Amino acid sequence: MIDLVALQSLRAVQSHGSVVAAAEVLGFTPSAVSQQIKKLERQTGAAVLERYGRGVLLTDHGERLAEHGADLLDRMEQIESDLSSAGSVVAGRLRVAAFSTAVRGLVAPMLSSVAADGHDLALRLVELDPPLGMEAVASGQADAALVHQWGDTPLAHPDHVEVTAIGVDVADILVPVGHRLAGRLSVTPADLVGEVFASAPVGSVCHEWLTRMFSGVGGPPRVSFWAAEWSSHIALVGHGAAVSLIPRLGREPLPASVRVLPVRDPVPTREVSLAWRRSMRSSPTIRYLRDVLVDLAPQLGLRT
């Protein structure tokens, strides 16, 4: 009989392109994943992987096995969720993906609530940007993911993934305390034309929203500094090198050299949501996670 854990390993390799990456997502060692793959090859009588450059590709046999395995794993997951739902038990291991500011601003506070509730629940967390978090849920490498989308810029998700809103986060413009706009109560994109910005990398949803915010007011923002970490943005602003659009969720304490200005026309917002596979819809653990996050959201500054 084909081993289900081995099938999970194969699916992880299919999704992430290498044994090492699959092991990191699954919380195994690369050696353990390799052993699971070899077990599959013994059980099915054919190779499931072949080397390609520094990574691996699934053979035709491996692709068919992964496709059938996905249906089987989804069905087993649904059975487990239905059985646990009958007893309303919140327990077991839950693999959660979250974007960086949600790790600081939502997941860390949530862990205190989970501990206080006394459930026999072990949470495993991995930090992933929203598209990767959604992919991890869709492929079965995470049970749930905190994701976000800015304004009307949609975050695509497959049909077998469900998404529910947790709250709405707002972003502000940060400027040096001696900046010409520092005395304002709020600013508009038109006020910021010509300013030197620090921005998240091209391709990120944060950069896309910054760019769209300037639509119709004189061209794209003038970006001279690119950094993935908001801490780096704050340092650049604090030393007078740039201004930056930074969300409130998970924002670290700001130095006295930085001034926060709300933005209007439009107000930059992002919807924070929780995603999970439809096969886990009846899971009391997923429902519990959702309810804890929804209850915490207003306390942590998210609009509901």
- Domain of 183, CATH number, reads 3.40.190.290
The answer on 131 and 78 residing in a single domain is: no
Give the residue ranges of DSSP H helices in 56-150: 60-87, 100-102, 108-117, 130-138
The answer on 183 and 145 residing in a single domain is: yes
Cα distance between residue 288 and residue 132, in whole Å: 23
Cα distance between residue 145 and residue 163, in whole Å: 9
The answer on 31 and 111 residing in a single domain is: no
Does the structure show a pLDDT above 50 at 204? Answer: yes
Cα distance between residue 93 and residue 109, in whole Å: 19
Q: Residue 60: is it exposed, middle or buried by C-beta count within 10 angstroms (0-12/13-18/19+)?
A: exposed
The answer on 114 and 250 residing in a single domain is: yes
Pick from 209, 190, 191, 185: nearest CA to 270: 209
pLDDT, mean of residues 136-163: 85
The answer on 74 and 212 residing in a single domain is: no
The answer on 198 and 68 residing in a single domain is: no
Helix (H) or strand (E) holding 22: helix 19-26
Instruction: Give the domain-ending residue among 30, 56, 82.
Output: 82
Domain count, the chain: 2
The answer on 178 and 72 residing in a single domain is: no
The answer on 57 and 117 residing in a single domain is: no
Instruction: Give the domain-ending residue among 49, 82, 115.
Output: 82
pLDDT number for residue 225: 97
The answer on 161 and 38 residing in a single domain is: no
Tokens of 48: 């499931």
Q: Residue 18's domain spans which residues?
A: 4-82
Answer yes or no: are the C-beta atoms of 167 and 247 closer than 8 Å.
no
The answer on 99 and 42 residing in a single domain is: no
Q: What is the dihedral of CA 148, 151, 152, 153, to 10 degrees?
A: -50
Answer yes or no: are the C-beta atoms of 143 and 96 closer than 8 Å.
yes
Cα 150 vs. chain centroid, distance in angstroms? 13
Does the structure show a pLDDT above 70 at 113? Answer: yes
Instruction: Give the domain-ending residue among 17, 52, 82.
Output: 82
pLDDT number for residue 8: 76
pLDDT number for residue 87: 52
Does the structure show a pLDDT above 60 at 82? Answer: no
Query: Full-prediction pTM beyond 0.85?
Result: no
The answer on 173 and 60 residing in a single domain is: no
Lowest mean pLDDT among 52-56, 145-149, 212-216: 52-56
Answer yes or no: are the C-beta atoms of 17 and 54 closer than 8 Å.
no
Cα distance between residue 107 and residue 146, in whole Å: 9
